[in-house]
């Protein structure tokens, strides 16, 4: 089955955050690859993955990392596929280090950076789906239903106020 999204992360310790992205893709019935490919600890594998990603049929890459989070930027440097970076909450600095490492890319090599942590991972998956939805009507329709449910749930929650 075709896999158009990859979720990569710097460490298995990031999975707790990145699994939120995986869950959303699964709910939308979208297959994905998932890998640990640290730019720091596995530089050769990181280069090989990024350089071959487009030819393998991937369309979007979600890259999560914490601390000195170079992985999203280094993946982006080696592919023209859109890269969505998720700053994983770090123990020492609560993810501010991750956020700034990912968001402050030099002009020319963009990384679409999300919020820190689980919310960011969820939004990364939704943004990936929105990118796929440009050319995939089935995904686009599921996104419309998702937004409607979100709206209806929010509206209903207000009823608790009486």
Ligand X SMILES: Nc1c(C(=O)O)ncn1[C@@H]1O[C@H](COP(=O)(O)O)[C@@H](O)[C@H]1O
Decide whether 93 or 144 has the Cβ nearer to ligand X: 93
Decide whether 68 or 93 has the Cβ nearer to ligand X: 68
Q: In what order do the strands lie in the sheet with 5-9?
A: 32-36, 5-9, 60-66, 83-88, 112-113
Distances (CA, A) of 109 to 50, 86, 119, 125: 14, 16, 24, 21
Of the residues 5, 10, 20, 132, which one makes contact with ligand X according to CB under 6 A: 10
Looking at 18-26, 32-40, 138-146, 148-156, which segment touches ligand X (CB under 6 A)?
Answer: 32-40
Structure tokens at 34: 């998932």
Looking at 63-71, 77-85, 103-111, 114-122, which segment touches ligand X (CB under 6 A)?
Answer: 63-71
DSSP code for 67: S
Beta carbons of 74 and 53 less than 8 angstroms apart: no
Decide whether 66 or 120 has the Cβ nearer to ligand X: 66
Looking at 19-27, 39-47, 54-62, 104-112, which segment touches ligand X (CB under 6 A)?
Answer: 39-47
Beta carbons of 68 and 38 less than 8 angstroms apart: no
> Across the chain, which distance is largest between two alpha carbons, in Å?
59
DSSP string for 110-141: --EE--SSHHHHHHHHHHHHHHHHTT-HHHHH
* Number of chain residues interacting with ligand X (CB under 6 A): 17
Decide whether 21 or 88 has the Cβ nearer to ligand X: 88
Which string of x and - marks every residue 64-103 that binds ligand X (by CB under 6 A)? -xxxxxxx----------------x---------------
Site residues (CB under 6 A) for ligand X?
A: 9-11, 13-14, 38-41, 65-71, 88
């Amino acid at each position: 089955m075709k896999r158009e999204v990859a979720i990569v992360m710097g460490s298995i310790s990031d999975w707790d955050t990145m699994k939120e992205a995986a869950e959303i893709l699964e709910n939308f019935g979208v297959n994905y690859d998932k890998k640990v490919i640290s730019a720091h600890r596995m530089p050769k594998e990181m280069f090989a993955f990024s350089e071959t990603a487009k030819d393998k049929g991937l369309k979007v890459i979600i890259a999560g990392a914490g601390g000195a989070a170079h992985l999203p930027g280094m993946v982006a440097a080696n592919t023209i596929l859109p890269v969505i970076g998720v700053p994983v909450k770090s123990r020492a600095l609560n993810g501010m280090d991750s956020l700034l490492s990912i968001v402050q890319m030099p002009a020319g090599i963009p990384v679409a950076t999300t919020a820190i942590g689980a919310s960011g991972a969820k939004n990364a998956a939704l943004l990936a789906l929105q990118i796929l939805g440009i050319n995939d009507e089935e995904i686009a329709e599921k996104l419309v239903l998702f937004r409607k449910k979100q709206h209806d749930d929010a509206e209903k929650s207000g009823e608790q106020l009486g």
